[in-house]
Amino acid sequence: MDDIFTAWRTWDEARADLEGREALDLPALERAVAAAREWHGEQRRPTGVPYVEHLLEALEVLVRGAGETGTEVLSAALLHDVVEDTGATVGDVEARFGPRVAELVDWVSKPPVAAGGRQAKRAAKAAYLRRLRDAPREAIVVKLADRVSNVQRLEQMPPDFQRRYYAETVTYILPLAEGHPWFAAWYEDWRRRYAHLR
């Protein structure tokens, strides 16, 4: 698997690469990056890296990998975790980025689980992942890019997490990729690379 998307660790690195691509609305993407930074603040990923790196990886997957150019899809990718992981609401996203971006972010945001422990959380997550089968194409590609960022270096995660996340990805995410040729090919290569986790 040669396609690993980690070149854009900062917005300056991303923008330098994006400037040569005429179909992209860079000012709109810059606004989305600024909002993501504002809402995520000092949050870090489980690996310890600044949260914005994950968002830029998802953007890189869509642009450099899947060839996406739509401003709303790319903005939603940059904002895809703000409702789930910050105090921002779907209404906040809509007020700043319009109803379509807000709709896409809403589709890919896991609903909160009030109580019930680990089993309840896993059941809610499975229901959310199943619901994505009914999502619009644009929301699905945002989710596919998000998961590429999450699984492209799966070996860096704890072993028990690796097996669980591999199984979840094969069960719920690979079927979503079937209608998207670039993602289908990427995930098939990924599945072969991590086949030892079956």
Q: Which of 25, 53, 84, 168 is catalytic?
A: 84
Q: Give the Cα separation of 22 and 138 in Å (integer).
A: 21
b/e sequence 142-169, b meaning 16+ C-beta within 10 Å? bbbbbbbbbbbebeebeeeebbebbebb
Q: Which of 3, 30, 85, 94 is catalytic?
A: 85
Closest of 151, 150, 148 to residue 177, by C-alpha: 148
Question: Are the C-beta atoms of 98 and 32 separated by less than 8 Å?
Answer: no
Annotation marks residue 38 as catalytic: no
The DSSP-derived string for 51-105 is HHHHHHHHHHIIIIIS----HHHHHHHHHTTHHHHSS--HHHHHHHH-HHHHHHH
Between CA 183 and CA 190, with CA 188 as vertex, the angle to 5 degrees is: 95
Q: Give the Cα separation of 18 and 191 in Å (integer).
A: 29
Annotation marks residue 168 as catalytic: no
Catalytic positions, please?
Answer: 84-85
